[in-house]
Every structure is written in structure tokens, then in C-alpha cells.
Chains A and B, each alone.
Chain A
Amino acid sequence: MLEQQLVNALSLGSVYALFALGFTLIFGVLGVINLSHGAVFMLGAYAALQAVVKLHLPLWAALIAALLFSGVVGMLIDVLVLRPLRKRNAPHLIPMIATIGIGIFFNNAVQGIFSADNQRFPSDLLPDQQVYFAGVQVSVLEIAIIVLSFALMGALFFIMNRTQIGRALRAIAESPKAAALLGINVEGLFLLTSFTAAALGGVAGVLIALYSNAVFPLMGQPILHKGIAVIILGGMGDIRGALVGAMFLGFAEVLSVAYIGSTMRDAVGFGLLFLVLLLRPQGLFGKVLERKA
């Protein structure tokens, strides 16, 4: 029983991590809290659904289509909204407010086009085989979610820590101005970051949509709130923190549903969040940045 719950928690936690990584990436590199990330997540799910239903693509192709689509949306957000604000040197709260507007826009546009109804993937599409492993029943879908999430996260870790691009991104996170002086193409990397973050968000959207078999316009809002919780738990802008925070939340939710009751699901997660806020508001891995005079 416990092992079963741990597998569920792992798959839930890895989807949270995928979502939160994009969220924290944008914050770490661009310094923007991207509150449209929930809407991008939802757009990814709709893109995959349309690819399957209208274009009759197989699931793996739909996943790639969703990745590309949400990535391009992320780039458009950066070019059309965030870049002009950067040029103007707007204080940091301003881009966050703009992304709230973008989120409202996408949520309502999708609701207007596809209606607020819950849509589903065709049932013959989903792999429904079960695998028994050491007495634990795992669906192929869960395995795919865990493997895919960890593969994408591993690729991100590798890029951030081992490659020239990663080094440049970390330089930008320290100071965009200094990075530009060192000859780093800051605007180009901002664009790349926006693409990557949104693509990760879109894939997370498809995975959640497959897992819960539900696609609806406001599906991004609850996960956005959880993403906020995750990056507060882990420390803002920290990739390790996002992973740990997401797993923490996934395990807290699943175990509280299993052992305390389903109404306490959000209460446990956000209760933890409240404790972290009171005791360590900078998060588990975060640092409080303070300017010394």
C-alpha cells in the first residue's frame, strides 16, 4: 500500500517539478515571476489535444507539437511584452502584472473558442497496460510520465551546469549588464530561456491532461498556485529547490490523501507552505538578497 502511494507521489511530484522548473527558470534568468505560466501549461494541453483530434497525429508527435507550440507562445510573450518592458527598465513588479494580463487573456480566449467544457483525449489513445513491479501496480502512463519528466530535467541540469550556454545563463542570472559586457548575447538567451521554460510548462500540461484525462480552460490555475508553493518551498530561482519542493508537495499531497483524507490534500501542502513562510520565507535553498549600503 505504501509503495503504491510512493509511486503515485513520484509521478505527481515529477509533473509538478516539470512545471515549476520552467517557472523558476524564468525567474532565475529573466527576474520575472511569470504568472502566465499556468496559461501556457493549459495551451500545451490544448495543442496536444487538437493535434490528436484534428490532425490525427500519434501521441508522441502530439507531445512534440505541444512542446513546440507552447515554446513559441513563450517566445512571443517575451518579444511582445517582456522585451519592451526590459528596454524601458520597468521595475520588477511591472512585468509580473503584465503576465497576469497575458494569463487572463489566454484563459478567456480558450474558453471563448473551445467553451468551458471538460474535453478528453480519445480513450483508445491512452496506454492502459499495467506493470507489476515488486508487488506495486504501475501504469505505463505513470512510468512514461516519470521517465519523461526526469529525462527533461536531467537535460536541463546538464545544460545549466556543463555547457557554455548554461554558464552564460548563470552569468545573466547574476547580472545581465555584466554578462552583456562579457560579450554574451543576453537578448538571444532570454529568448531561448522563454522558449525552454514555456516548452517545459506545455509538456507538463500534456502529461497532467493525460494523467487526469481532463482538458479545460482553467486547468492552469491550480497548478500555477502549486508552482508558486513549490518555488517558495524550494527557494526562488533555484533549480534544485524547484525539484525538491515539487517532490515535497507531491509526496505531502498523496500521503495526506491516503492517510488523513482527501479534504486535507491542499491543506497539508499549503500548511507546509505557511510554516516555511513564517520560519524561512526565503525557502529551503533560497538566499535573501539584501543590498548593503
Chain B
Amino acid sequence: MTESFDNFWAIYSNLVLTIGINGLLALSIYLTLSCGLLAMANAAFMGIGAYTASLLTMNAGAPFSVALLGGMAAPTLVALVIGAPTLRLSGVYLAMATLGFGEVVRVAILNAESWTGGALGLNGIPQSTQWWHVVASLVIVLLVLWRLRRSRVGRAFEAIKEDGVAASLMGIGVLSHKMLAFTLGAAIAGLAGALNAHLTFFIGPSEFGFDRGVDILTMAILGGTGGLTGPVLGAAIITLLPELLRSLKDFRTMVNGIILVVIVLFLPRGLWDPLRFKQWWARRKAVTAASGEKR
């Protein structure tokens, strides 16, 4: 039993840990979405976290814990700076501005060659990420977000998401709450980036571009953004899908596109939708009750 597990782990440990890291990323975009912000900068924040942490361990010889903290702090600071002007924008305007910011970060990484290795990326990052680092991070982030949802702040997020003007009239500081969601999301994305860099031991600027941002969004939307389960479920599916669809070869990623369109068209609240489950359950109960009466 343990032997077969060892075999499984030797082959699939990277895949399993990637699910955890992608789960963190999906949760980071869930946080901003739960505050009604469509911010597409998470891939960029992930990149900033990954590069900061890697430079800390490789060049400064910092211990892994310091690198992880640095990987969270750097994107948080950047989020504070760009959040102030951009969070004034609403809806799609914010999405565009953050997409633009993501490109700026990618190009900046590409051109700061003496630090980041430019297009070649950073190679030989120590593989310090153990399985329990990922599990602990995911559990801690889930606990924090779960606590947050049930708190005054979480309810304020929800109020802002439903109607920002009404929320501000109720005395909620809209901009400061948006800033909190944005910076906290950046910190989580940075943590994911730092963990990922120390798992794959190579990072390059193209990993943190538009496509990664889209992937992160797809995970959250696929799973559903109504709660914490959805994003993690979506992350697991999107991570496993390429492995399951190996037989489709070149058309493999095409399925991602189809899934995205189909989910948006037919399951707008995502796969994990407690409300829908409840409705199904109620309907089944009603049906069985009705057939019971007939008898």
C-alpha cells in the first residue's frame, strides 16, 4: 500500500502540489471578485512574488520563510501603489487597466535583465517547497478567507459587490474595502508565485503574462465564485484537464476555450453552486413526496 503510494507520489507529486498552488491563485481572484472588482492583475502579482522570493533565496541567501514573506510583501506594496488610482475605475474599465498593468510588469521583468535574467528567466531556484508548505498555505488562506466572509468586512465586500453607491450610503468605506481586497488578493497571488518558483526551480517572464491571468480567471469562474469551494474545485479541474485530455493532442487546449464559453452560457454561477444544489434537492423531495401521495 505504502509502496504504491510512493510510486504515485513520485510521479504525480508535482501535479498535486500544482493543484494546491492554482487553488491559491483562484482564491486570490475570488477575493477581488467577491468585492465586485474584476481585477486581472493576479498573474502579474504572482510574477512579482515569484521573482522577489527567488531573488531572495538565490542572491541574498535568505531562508525560505523570509523568501515567502518577501514574495507576499512585494506584490502587496505594488498593489497599494497602483490600487490608489485604478480602483476608482469600475467594471470593465478596471479589467482593462489591470490587464495593461500585467503587460507592464511582464515587459519590466523582460527588460530588467541584470536582475531577472530577461527572456531567459531565472534558473536553478532551490527546490525548497515541501508538500506541507503548500497544504499549510492553502489551509491558512482558506481559514482567513472563511473568517473574513463571516465578518463585518466580508459583509461589506458583499454590499459593495451588490451596489457600491448604496454601500457607501450605509457608511461603508468603499475605496478602503476595495483596497483591502485588492492588496490581500495580491499577497495570496504572491505567495502562490513564491511557492511555485521553489517547486519548479525555473521561472520566466512569459509565465506571468496574459494567458496565466486568463487561466486563473477560468479556474474561479469554472468552479463558481459564490464561495470558497468553487475556486479550489475549478483549480483542480483546470490543472487535471490537460492530463485527462492527452488523447486530443493539439486540440487539447481548445477544450479549455469551449469549457469557458459553455460554463458562461449555461452555468453562470459555476459548477459549485449551493443554491442550485438546494433547488435540485427541493425538487427531488417534492417529486418523491408527490409520488408518495399518489400511492
Q: Do chains A and B interact in one complex?
A: yes
The reply to whether A108 and B96 contact each other, CB–CB distance below 8 Å, is no
Interface residues of B (CB under 8 A from A): 38, 82, 85-86, 88-93, 95-97, 99-101, 103-104, 107-108, 110-111, 165-166, 168-169, 210-211, 214, 217-218, 221, 249-254, 256-261, 264-265, 268
- Say whether, besides A81-B261, A97-B264, A101-B264, A232 and B96 are in contact (CB < 8 Å): yes
Main secondary structure of the interface of B (DSSP, over half): helix
Q: Is the CB of A97 within 8 A of B217?
A: yes
Contact A90 B100 (CB under 8 A): no
Bound Cα distance from A271 to B101, whole angstroms = 10
Complex: A219 Cα to B101 Cα, angstroms: 21
Question: In angstroms, how far is the closest chain A Cβ from the Cβ of B292?
Answer: 36
Chain B residues with Cβ under 8 A from A98's Cβ?
Answer: 260-261, 264-265
Cβ-defined partner of A105 (8 Å) among B95, B108, B261: B261
- What's the interface size class on A, roughly? 35 or more
Q: Closest Cβ of chain B: how far from A238's Cβ, in Å?
A: 12
Could you give, for residues 271-293 of chain A, a 1 whenever the CB lies within 8 Å of some chain B CB and a 0 otherwise? 10110011101100010111111
Minimum Cβ distance to chain B for residue A231 (Å) = 7
A102 CB contacts on chain B under 8 angstroms: 257, 261
The answer on a CB contact under 8 Å between A288 and B265 is no
> Do the beta carbons of B214 and A264 come within 8 Å of each other?
no
Assess the A277–B38 pair: CB atoms within 8 A.
no
With CB as the reference atom, state the residue of chain A lying closest to B258. Answer: A105
The contact sample of 27 A-B pairs, CB cut-off 8 A, is: A88-B268, A90-B264, A92-B92, A94-B264, A96-B38, A97-B217, A98-B261, A101-B256, A104-B254, A106-B257, A108-B256, A112-B249, A112-B250, A225-B210, A266-B110, A270-B103, A271-B107, A274-B101, A274-B104, A277-B100, A277-B101, A278-B85, A281-B85, A281-B86, A282-B93, A286-B93, A288-B89
Decide: B257 and A101 in contact? CB cutoff 8 A: yes
Contact B165 A101 (CB under 8 A): no
- Complex interface: chain A residues within 8 A of B169 (CB): 293
For chain A, what secondary structure do more than half of its interface residues adopt (helix, strand, loop), or is it mixed? helix
For the complex, is A212 an interface residue (Cβ under 8 Å from B)?
no
Smallest CB–CB gap between A81 and chain B, Å? 6
Within the complex, the shortest CB–CB distance from B243 to chain A, in Å, comes to 17
Additional A-B contact list (5), CB under 8 Å, known A98-B265, A105-B254, A108-B252 = A81-B264, A92-B91, A100-B218, A228-B96, A274-B100
On whether the beta carbons of A101 and B103 are closer than 8 Å, the reply is no
- Known A85-B264, A267-B108: A228·B250 in contact at CB below 8 Å: no
For B259, list chain A residues within 8 Å (CB): 101
Closest approach, in angstroms, between the C-beta of B164 and any C-beta of chain A? 8
A111 in the interface (beta carbon within 8 A): yes
Q: Known: A108-B257, A282-B93. Is A270-B104 also a contact (CB below 8 A)?
A: yes
Q: For the complex, give the distance between the alpha carbons of A290 and B45 in Å.
A: 28
In the docked arrangement, what's the CA distance between A25 and B260, Å? 24
Nearest residue (CB) in B for A280 is B85
Q: Does A33 have its Cβ within 8 Å of any Cβ on chain B?
A: yes
- Inter-chain CA distance A157–B175, complex, in Å, is 38
Contacts A97-B221, A277-B101; A33 near B92 (Cβ below 8 A):
yes
From residue B140, how far is it (CB to closest CB) to chain A in Å? 28
Shortest CB-to-CB span from B206 to chain A, Å, is 11
Q: Are B250 and A108 in contact (CB under 8 A)?
A: yes
Minimum C-beta distance from A262 to chain B (A): 11
Contact of A225 (CB < 8 Å), options: B90, B91, B92, B103: B103
Q: Select which of B82, B104, B165, B214 is within 8 A of A104 by beta carbon.
A: B214
Residues of B with C-beta under 8 A to A273: 100, 103-104
Q: Are A111 and B261 interface neighbours, CB within 8 A?
A: no
In the complex, residue of chain A having the shortest beta-carbon distance to the beta carbon of B111: A267
- Of A93, A267, A286, which is within 8 A of B92 by CB? A93
Shortest CB distance B43–A (Å): 13
Q: Contact: A33 with B265, CB < 8 Å?
A: no
A229, B103: Cβ atoms closer than 8 Å: yes
Closest to B37 in A: A93
Contact A81 B265, CB 8 Å, known A266-B107, A270-B103: yes
A98 to chain B, nearest CB (A): 4
Complex Cα gap A27–B97 (Å):
14
Known: A97-B217, A105-B254, A293-B165. A281 touches B97 (CB 8 A): yes
